[in-house]
Amino acid sequence: MFAVAQFASAFLSSASSPFFALGSAIIDLTPPWLKDFAIATFGTNDKLALFVSIGIVATLLAALIGVLAKRSFAWACTVIVALAVVLGSAVAARASTGALDIVPTVLGAIAGIGILRWLTNLAGAAAPGAPAGASSNNAPVAGTSRRDFLLGSAASLAAAALATGVSTSLSATRNMAAAARKALRLPAARTKVKDLPQGVQIDEPGMPRFITPNPDFYRIDTALSVPQIDPSQWSLRIHGMVENEFTLNFDELMAEELVETYLTLTCVSNPVGGDLIGNAKWLGYPLRKLLERAAPQAGADMVLSTSHDGFSASTPLEVLTDDRMALLAVGMNGEPLPFEHGFPVRMVVPGLYGYVSATKWVVDLEVTRFQDKTAYWTTRGWSERGPIKMSSRIDTPRSFAKVPSGEVVLGGTAWAQTRGISRVQVQIDDGPWEDAQLAEEATLDTWRQWRHVWSGARPGMHTGRVRAYDASGELQTSDRANPVPNGASGWHQVQFSVE
């Protein structure tokens, strides 16, 4: 049933897939503690975990319906129809669906009933002592057996798997958008905010690249199927409390004076020492200029950005209009945004966690007030505002690593976007805090690498701790906090053994 619907949805849009719609509905209903648990447990595999769970539940349901059908075919059909109603509602509730998008679910239900009919017929014949002529007109001919039923079930399953696989590669919207992305040539930036200085990278084994390659860049979002938007179909509407409401299309955006900047994105769910953080070179148009053109009215204090698939973020208007480089980005590390990272257009904003600023697949900006509108994660228990907390991390040695005695090199990263890092200190066991060597700073909005040499390391277990200071001399807080509701804090430590 799912498979037929999935297959049919390939001809419409992925949003019409009941499978994705159900998953998305589950995500939307997830309380913050569960989201946090899922990310903590499965990391960026959280979506895979959800799919597997849905798959297991669907298989159990199918088995139940099968058992029920043996007693009453009519009741089994009622259950299938009820399921279709639930799934159809989930599809209809998505932001990017219309009436036609219900079709795959309906086809799926019809196919489900058809397959059930066929299988019960096979089973009816297979059941020992089935009274002759007890089944309906299209009763199987004599000689069908339990083997036929099992073969039939296996064939249905195989067909389902095949249809799902084929439909994913066949999806029409996907192919169009992929071709458009491939053909896209981004214009060069008119301005470089700053050239990358020499010496931002510390080359020590275990250190991350200063620029995170796109395929390694962390991905966090609520989109079960990555939106596939053809740039020629994209537009951004800017409206709400503005003097000049307008709509911008992709060609118009590309004709603007694009700028290039380096910026480190961070997820609010990143635990102390975690890796939900990445640094890239972004190409885009300053949101400040876009908002200047729209001319916000007095009293407005927030911009609600909404994505193609209905996610939203609330960003203080002030942050988008001051002189920091908040961008409507089209390029990431020299190529068009990857689909997973928001193709064709997303926001990136220095100093704020992604959930309140970095809307991917952005299609709508509403200038409004915090008291009037509430964004996606805020309605689910996360803070209305999310400035990034100053943090530092030990990347090497890893926890539980074994290192040779003598000289141990510790290395890592620290970040305080918009303020910059001025100092990093390391403590071994309960010794004194010592200044680490800092790599060059690229911009105030990027992370900064550091290294510290510990000479005279004696064999045994040891603890390394790190803490940072921002440019104003403020020390990173040692107060431990979990990610919910506005980001983790506390000093990162690792335990390693010297051989």
Ligand X SMILES: Nc1nc2c(c(=O)[nH]1)N[C@H]1C(S)=C(S)[C@@H](COP(=O)(O)O)O[C@H]1N2
User: What does R_g of the chain's alpha carbons equal in angstroms?
Assistant: 27
Look at residue 488 and give the partner it binds from ligand X, Mo ion, none, a contact being a CB closer than 5 to 8 Å depending on partner kind: none
Omega before 397 within 30 of 0, i.e. cis: yes
Cβ neighbour number for residue 248 with a 10 Å cutoff: 19
**In the complex, least distance from residue 27 CB atom to ligand X, rounded to whole angstroms:** 9
| Of residues 122 and 416, the one with the C-beta less far from ligand X | 416
The residue type of 90 is A
The answer to whether the beta carbons of residues 389 and 439 sit under 8 Å apart is: no
Look at residue 279 and give the partner it binds from ligand X, Mo ion, none, a contact being a CB closer than 5 to 8 Å depending on partner kind: none
**In the complex, least distance from residue 100 CB atom to ligand X, rounded to whole angstroms:** 23
| Of residues 108 and 350, the one with the C-beta less far from ligand X | 350
How many residues touch Mo ion (CB under 5 A)? Answer: 4
| Of residues 156 and 212, the one with the C-beta less far from ligand X | 212
| Of residues 265 and 408, the one with the C-beta less far from ligand X | 265
| Of residues 180 and 352, the one with the C-beta less far from Mo ion | 352
**SS3 readout for 222-270:** CCCCCCCCCHHHCEEEEEECECCCEEEEHHHHHHCCCEEEEEEEECCCC
Two structure tokens written together for 221: 């979002």
354 counts as binding Mo ion under rule CB under 5 A: yes
| Of residues 65 and 416, the one with the C-beta less far from ligand X | 416
Residue nearest to ligand X (CB): 354
Describe the crossing of helices 46-71 and 103-126 by its angle, rounded to 10 degrees. Answer: 50
220 counts as binding Mo ion under rule CB under 5 A: yes
Look at residue 160 and give the partner it binds from Mo ion, ligand X, none, a contact being a CB closer than 5 to 8 Å depending on partner kind: none
d(C-alpha 111, C-alpha 9), whole Å: 14
Which stretch in 245-253, 351-359, 452-460, 471-479 sits in contact with Mo ion by CB under 5 A?
351-359
The answer to whether the beta carbons of residues 394 and 414 sit under 8 Å apart is: no
Calculate ∠ Cα 209-260-226, nearest 5°. Answer: 70
The answer to whether the beta carbons of residues 116 and 64 sit under 8 Å apart is: no
| Of residues 221 and 260, the one with the C-beta less far from ligand X | 221
Phi and psi at 450, nearest 5°, equal -145, 160
**In the complex, least distance from residue 47 CB atom to ligand X, rounded to whole angstroms:** 11
**In the complex, least distance from residue 44 CB atom to ligand X, rounded to whole angstroms:** 9
| Of residues 124 and 354, the one with the C-beta less far from ligand X | 354
Look at residue 359 and give the partner it binds from ligand X, Mo ion, none, a contact being a CB closer than 5 to 8 Å depending on partner kind: ligand X
355 counts as binding Mo ion under rule CB under 5 A: yes
Per-residue b or e along 5-33, where b marks 16 or more CB atoms closer than 10 Å to that residue's CB = bbbbbbebbbbbbbbbbbbbbebbebeee
| Of residues 62 and 280, the one with the C-beta less far from ligand X | 280
Look at residue 307 and give the partner it binds from Mo ion, ligand X, none, a contact being a CB closer than 5 to 8 Å depending on partner kind: ligand X
**In the complex, least distance from residue 232 CB atom to Mo ion, rounded to whole angstroms:** 30
Interface residue with Mo ion, options 229, 267, 294, 424 (CB under 5 A) = 267
CA distances from 336 to 19, 178, 359 (A): 29, 11, 16
d(C-alpha 276, C-alpha 265), whole Å: 9
**In the complex, least distance from residue 221 CB atom to ligand X, rounded to whole angstroms:** 3
| Of residues 22 and 313, the one with the C-beta less far from Mo ion | 313
The answer to whether the beta carbons of residues 416 and 448 sit under 8 Å apart is: no
**In the complex, least distance from residue 366 CB atom to Mo ion, rounded to whole angstroms:** 21
**Would you give the end-to-end CA distance of the chain in angstroms?**
58
Look at residue 27 and give the partner it binds from ligand X, Mo ion, none, a contact being a CB closer than 5 to 8 Å depending on partner kind: none
**In the complex, least distance from residue 34 CB atom to ligand X, rounded to whole angstroms:** 15
- β partners of residue 348: 327
218 counts as binding Mo ion under rule CB under 5 A: no
- β partners of residue 470: 421
Look at residue 24 and give the partner it binds from ligand X, Mo ion, none, a contact being a CB closer than 5 to 8 Å depending on partner kind: none
Long-range CB pairs of 301-305 (<8 Å, 24+ gap) are: 301/369, 301/370, 302/367, 302/368, 302/369, 302/370, 302/373, 303/365, 303/366, 303/367, 303/368, 304/240, 304/364, 304/365, 304/366, 304/368, 304/373, 304/375, 305/347, 305/359, 305/362, 305/364, 305/365, 305/366
Two structure tokens written together for 358: 């970095």
Residue nearest to Mo ion (CB): 267
Which stretch in 177-185, 261-269, 388-396, 463-471 sits in contact with Mo ion by CB under 5 A?
261-269
Residue numbers of the site for ligand X (CB under 6 A)?
A: 217-223, 265, 267, 278, 307, 311, 341, 354-355, 358-361
Instruction: Assign 312 to helix, strand or coil.
Output: strand
**In the complex, least distance from residue 262 CB atom to ligand X, rounded to whole angstroms:** 15
Look at residue 217 and give the partner it binds from ligand X, Mo ion, none, a contact being a CB closer than 5 to 8 Å depending on partner kind: ligand X
Closest CA to 284 of 320, 308, 246, 242: 320
375 counts as binding Mo ion under rule CB under 5 A: no
**In the complex, least distance from residue 349 CB atom to ligand X, rounded to whole angstroms:** 10
| Of residues 181 and 360, the one with the C-beta less far from Mo ion | 360
Phi and psi at 19, nearest 5°, equal -60, -50
**In the complex, least distance from residue 178 CB atom to ligand X, rounded to whole angstroms:** 18
Which stretch in 118-126, 134-142, 229-237, 346-354 sits in contact with Mo ion by CB under 5 A?
346-354
Note the residues at the interface with Mo ion (CB under 5 A): 220, 267, 354-355
